[in-house]
Structure 1
Amino acid sequence: MATTDTAIIGAGPYGLSLAAHLDAAGVPHQVLGTPMEGWRNFAPPGMLMRSDGWSTSLYAPQRGYALQDYCALRGIRYQPIGMHLTRETFIDYGLWFQQQLVDDLRQVDVVDMRRVDGMFHLALSDGTSIVARRVVLALGLKGFEKTPPVLQGLPREFVSHSCEYGDLEWVRGKDIVIVGGGQSALGLAALMNENGGRIRVLAREPVVTWNNKPQNNRSFISRLIRPDGRIGPGWRAHIIAEWPFVFRAFGAQRRKQVVNSTWGPSGAWWLRDRVVNQVDVSVGSQIRHAAIDNNRIVLQVSMKDQQSQLEADHVIAATGFKTDLSRHAFLSREIVQSMSLQDGVPELTRHFETSVRGLYVIGPASAYSFGPVMRFIYGAKYAAPQVARHILKRYRHDNPAPRTTPAAATPEAVANQADH
């Protein structure tokens, strides 16, 4: 059975960034997962990244591997703010980062993980297994999709979640209803409309919120009053992005309130012209009932106190995600219970470690401990080095460097002294 010090489950931006730091620190590790899998398989072609160029880098312990460096290498025009970064360019950049810095990677899934005598035993999808002293969960939003109760239980042929989409060719000529008023809903609506679908968006909010176009020529005073934050404009966004460990010092209830109330549903500025007057958007809408009839999905919808009926070929729930680690079926019951989850959310130490010694969580699932920045790629800048430092400290404690016996104390030295 193969062994390693640290197993990283997940090969997205957070997992790859951590692997690069562990490699530089000399800690034996294994990354388990397909590089950039979520972006490659579940983000539609033609999608633009919502984050600006300066906040969309994976993080290495040395210079030369940021998005800006990759763009310079490939002759791609880079802009720190206002860049139209395509999903395809971002994926290529992530794969380049992995090829340059992350060697110890196996493209497998973990199907079972148990803790035996303080070690983690992981069964893998290729039939093999591995034992690790430490495990880092870096699975992004995988498995956390949230679907309204009224749509739950309906056949997948008629209802799906926005996180499931790659290719969109199938929408041509279809009636599609998208539920939600945020970036996922509006982005999918634009792409599906441009792919020949007949799209209608049902947004619960009374209005659609659009982000303002960034201004690159603002004065120093303007930037001082309202700085350009890595995850949004203004001092609040700047503080949340740059000091996640201060955020952790807040009480659990306060942290939860900030995470749940920050960055509500909105659309990127560059998306507005592709949606407004192009796609039918109904605000203040809520689905009251859904059923399948004559191979169509029929929705009873309330819109501003009026009731109406809609029919469609398919409904897509672009209704976000909810962190719940108990939904990861590969985690044993003993591990889940030992993590002391609160409504599915783990309480993490300042090193991103759960209450199970040696088990860490990074990425969006750590947002309730370190703030909304962990829902963005930018959060890897803090998570990767922090976790790597802690694991290195534990690794050195578990594997102390061999001591060299002083020459005067060796048998040969004693004999030589006797001869003299």
Structure 2
Amino acid sequence: MTDTIIIGAGPYGLSLAAHLKAAGIDHQIIGEPMGAWRHYMPPGMMLRSEAFASSLQAPRSGFTVEDYCRLKGLAYSALGMALPLETFVDYGLWFQANLVGETQQADVLSLRRVDDEFQLLLTDGRALTARKVVIALGLKGFAQTPPPLQGLPARYASHSERYGNLEWASGKDIAIVGGGQSALGLSALLHELGARAHVLMREDLVVWHERPQGGRRLLARLKTPDAGLGRGWRSLFLSECPGLFHRLDPARRRLIMDHSYGASGAWWLHDRVVDKVRISHRTVVNSAAIENERVVLDVLSDGRQERVSADHVIAATGFRTDMRQHAFLSRELAEALSTQGGMPELNSHYETRVSGLYVIGPASAHSFGPVMRFVYGTKHASPTVARHLSGSLKADARQRAPARRPRAAAGASR
């Protein structure tokens, strides 16, 4: 029996594990450290977040991206630095080696609740039990593919959630459906590898972020402060106050989520995309078919019906949280968790309606705000959950402790 099991060894899982280890809480973490970042992100990718906002949350000082760059002799700038994927992955593994230790490198086949404990079966054949479980799986399983592209053979269509090396696309025509960071980033990398990328986006234009500048004067910083999610007071609130966001009524939270941080491109992508990659604005895919070993898309582009032919189409169309997509969850847990169309209903401690089961990371965004879609959200989630787990486990231990027998009165017969 383990006190706590963390499912997922990405930024959120590793940050929480570091806090639990520092607090002396018995735990195990399941997953390959930084696995999704290592295997499903293309080489050469840059992080969208600024460097100062890309650190995992450590229980003590000395383990930020800045600390890592200083240790390794790498250039660092809090603002205006495009942080390479490779550097971020190496940083995450360094964080794990120093603050977390070994992880159980397997996947969870099943998770169910039996009485007051959770039972897990892993892909390596082991069975584990725990008093508490934290799901920290990032966006895994939540890919959202437009209906016209669903059902196409994998040879011709895929989602941007799983991309490693892109060299297979060299010399090919690649259509990318979407207009956000993922679509634009993939288009730049594909172009630089010799592919002919064509971005099909609904929006009227690409929203490009300006390169942030450090050293601003006090008045400028007061007017538009720098925050983990960008510049401005609204970004500061969403970055630093997820607990207050949680107190808003659900309708207000949903409105903010629907109108925050939409399709846009990082400043460092502008010169790699503009005048280099073909972009069709106001474009919607109506249907798709395979013709002569090519995927052919019927689209409505700027009011005109057109056909787009490509060797492969990538859906860079984002994600939709739906806990029911986690096949390892028992039916009972999935039904208990999946309120609001699959989004988990969480209390202020990230605990679900199932006592002892927590959800952190992007799946918690509709409860705590868009910051949970970014690494910066570990700053709030990890210490919050660690504190609650510590208190809850201590309370559980007191309840399990057998009641003390009263002492025999002096002179009583034996």
Q: Which of residues 56, 60, 63 in structure 2 aligns to 1:62?
A: 60
CA distance in 2, matches of 1:164, 1:197: 18
Provide closer, same or farther for how the CA distance between residues 291 and 123 of structure 1 changes in structure 2, counting only shifts above 3 A: same
TM-score (norm 2): 0.96
CA distance in 1, matches of 2:127, 2:255: 40
Match of 2:369 in 1: 371
Q: Classify the secondary structure of the residue corresponding to 1:15.
A: helix
Match of 2:292 in 1: 294
In structure 2, what residue type is equivalent to 1:178? I
- How do residues 11-30 of structure 1 correspond to structure 2 at under 5 angstroms? 11-30=9-28
In structure 2, what residue type is equivalent to 1:175? D
Which runs of 5 or more structure 1 residues have no equivalent in the other structure? 416-420
What's the CA shift string for 1:271-311, capped at 9, x where partnerless?
Answer: 00000000001111111110011111011111111111111
Match of 1:238 in 2: 236
- State the number of aligned residues: 407
In structure 2, what residue type is equivalent to 1:267? G
In structure 1, what residue type is equivalent to 2:214? N
What's the CA shift string for 1:215-249, capped at 9, x where partnerless?
Answer: 22322111111111111110000011111100011
Give the CA deviation at 1:410: 11
Provide closer, same or farther for how the CA distance between residues 410 and 376 of structure 1 changes in structure 2, counting only shifts above 3 A: farther
Give the CA deviation at 1:104: 4.7
What's the CA shift string for 1:244-279, capped at 9, x where partnerless?
Answer: 100011011110111121000000011000000000
Given the alignment of the two structures, is residue 40 of structure 1 paired with residue 23 of structure 2, yes or no? no
Please tell me whether the aligned partners of residues 29 and 104 of structure 1 are also in contact (alpha carbons under 8 angstroms). Answer: no
Please tell me whether the aligned partners of residues 52 and 83 of structure 1 are also in contact (alpha carbons under 8 angstroms). Answer: yes
CA distance in 2, matches of 1:48, 1:268: 9
TM-score (norm 1): 0.94
What's the CA shift string for 1:193-214, capped at 9, x where partnerless?
Answer: 1011011110110111101111
Match of 1:257 in 2: 255
User: Identity of paired residues, percent?
Assistant: 54
Please tell me whether the aligned partners of residues 299 and 311 of structure 1 are also in contact (alpha carbons under 8 angstroms). Answer: yes
Give the CA deviation at 1:133: 0.7
What's the CA shift string for 1:63-96, capped at 9, x where partnerless?
Answer: 1111111111100111111112100000000000
CA distance in 2, matches of 1:402, 1:308: 71
In structure 2, what residue type is equivalent to 1:236? R
- Which range is displaced more, 392-401 or 242-251? 392-401
Match of 1:89 in 2: 87
CA distance in 2, matches of 1:396, 1:120: 18
Q: Classify the secondary structure of the residue corresponding to 2:344.
A: coil
CA distance in 2, matches of 1:338, 1:218: 49
Match of 1:306 in 2: 304
Please tell me whether the aligned partners of residues 340 and 355 of structure 1 are also in contact (alpha carbons under 8 angstroms). Answer: no
Match of 2:268 in 1: 270
What's the CA shift string for 1:157-196, capped at 9, x where partnerless?
Answer: 1110011101011011111000111000000000001011
What's the CA shift string for 1:356-393, capped at 9, x where partnerless?
Answer: 00000000000111111111100001000000000001
CA distance in 2, matches of 1:279, 1:225: 36
In structure 2, what residue type is equivalent to 1:17? S
Please tell me whether the aligned partners of residues 155 and 312 of structure 2 are also in contact (alpha carbons under 8 angstroms). Answer: yes
CA distance in 2, matches of 1:288, 1:381: 42
Please tell me whether the aligned partners of residues 179 and 317 of structure 1 are also in contact (alpha carbons under 8 angstroms). Answer: yes
After superposition, the CA RMSD in angstroms is 1.7
CA distance in 2, matches of 1:251, 1:89: 39
In structure 1, what residue type is equivalent to 2:261? W
Match of 1:418 in 2: none
Match of 1:160 in 2: 158
